Amino acid sequence: MAPYLWKLIPILLVFGGILAIVPLLVYLERKICALIQERMGPNRVGLFGPDSPLEVFGFKMGEKRVLGGLLQPLADAIKLIAKEDIIPPQVERYLYEFAPFFALLPPFLAFAVIPIGADLQVGDTAVPLVVADVGVGFLWVLAVASLSAYGVALGGWASNNKYALLGGIRATAQMISYEIGLGMALIAVAMQYQTVEPVSIVAQQVEGGFWHWGIFRQPLAFMLFLICAFAENNRLPFDLPECEAELIGGYHTEYSSMKFGMFFQGEYIAMLTMGGLLATFFLGGWHYPFYEAIREGAGPLIATLLSLVSFGVKTMAFVVFSMWVRWTLPRFRYDQLMRIGWKGIIPVALANIVLTALINIR
C-alpha cells in the first residue's frame, strides 16, 4: 500500500475521535455541573428504558433506565439541526455565515501536530500516529490558535449587535493577552527540551521516563500554561466573552440553530485540543508507566493501543478538570483579567524563561 494511505489512520483517529467525543463532553459537563449543585442532571434519554430513542423504531427497551441521559446530546444535536436558522436582517451576511466555521476550524488544525500514540507497527513500516509532523512544531499551534480569535471577533462584529460586539472585543483582547503567556510558557518548555517539535518533546519524555515529564521539569510553565489554557478557551473563570449576565451570550447572541451549535462545538473541541497540548508538553504525551516492559512482553500493537488510551485519559483529565473549575469559580472582572494576564502571568513567564536558561547552562 502506498505510504500516504497509512496517513489516513492518524487522520481518522484524530478527527473522528474528536467529533465522537464532543457530544460525550456535553453530557459530562452537564452531569458534573448537576452533581456539584446536588441535582440529577440529564437522566432520561438513554439507550435503555422507557425514554430510549430506539422505542421510536419499535424496539422495546425495557422499563429500567440505564445510563439515562447519555443520549441527551444526540437529542440536543437533532434539535439544533432541526431548529429554524434565524438570520437577523441587520447582520453582515457573509461574515456572519463565515464566523462559526472560523470558530470550529482552528482547534482541529492545532490538533494536527499532536502525537496521539506510539508508532503503529504494520509489517515493517512504522506509522507515526500524528497527522502532521511539521518542523515548526508548536509554533503552528500558536499560529493557528490565534486564528480562533477571528471566529469570535467576526461573529461579534458581523452580528451588528452591541452585546455581541462587546463580547467579540473582549474575546479578542483576552485571547491576544493570554496568548503571550501561553507562548512564553512554551518557550521555557522548548528551552528545556531543546526543540519545538511535539513529536520530539514526547520522545524525550518517553526516553527519560516518568520523572522527565514536563510537569516535573517545568512545573511553573505547567501552571502558567494551565491558566492560559482556560483563558484561551474562554472558560470560567475567564469566560468574559460570553458572560450571560451582562452580554446575554456575547458573540453568539445573534446565532441560532446549528450556527450556534458550531460555536458550542468549537468550544469543546478547543478544550480537547488544549488538553492534548497539555498532555503532550507536560504529561508525557502518550507515555505511560511500564511502556517498555509491555512493548517487550505483549507486543507493539497492544503497547500502541494502550498509548492511545493513555493519551485519551490525560486529555480527558484536563477537560474534566476545567469543567470542575467552571462550576467552582466565579467570573473575574475585566480589569482583574487584564491585571492577571499582564502583571501576573507574563512577568512570571519571563522569570521562568530566565530561570530555565540559567539551569540549563552547559
Partner 1 sequence: MAGGHGHGHGHGHDGHGAATPTPVLPSGAFLAPGNVELNWVEKMYLPEIVKGLGNTFSHLFKKTFTVDYDGTHREDPRKFHVPSEGYRGEHYLKKDEAGHVKCVACFMCAAACPAECIHIEAEAVPADWKDRERYPKRFEIDLLRCIYCGMCEEACPVDAIALSTTYNVVSETRESKVYARERLLQRGEELGISMSKHQYRPDGIPGHVPEQKQSH
Residues at the interface with partner 1 (CB under 8 A): 32, 34-40, 43, 223, 324-325, 327-329, 340
Residue 140: which of 104, 175, 114 has the closest Cα?
A: 114
Output 69 or 276, the one with its CB closest to partner 1.
69
SS3 120: strand
Question: Cα–Cα–Cα angle for 43, 47, 49, nearest 5°?
Answer: 70
Residue 32 or residue 95: which is nearer to partner 1 going by CB? 32
Helices (H), the chain: 3-6, 8-11, 17-36, 72-82, 93-111, 138-158, 162-193, 198-208, 214-217, 219-232, 244-247, 257-282, 291-298, 300-326, 334-339, 346-359
Based on CB atoms, which residue is closest to partner 1, 33 or 142? Answer: 33
Q: CB of 328: closest distance to partner 1 in angstroms?
A: 4
* Whether 284 contacts 38, CB under 8 Å: no
* Helix/strand/coil for 127: strand
State which residue, 43 or 146, has the beta carbon closest to partner 1: 43
Q: How far is the CB of 340 from partner 1 (least distance, A)?
A: 8
Q: Which CB sits closer to partner 1, 36 or 308?
A: 36
CB of 278 to partner 1, least distance (A): 17
Kindly state the smallest distance separating residue 63's Cβ from partner 1, in Å. 10
- Assigned C-alpha cell, 319: 477537560
From the CB of 44, what's the least distance to partner 1, in Å? 8
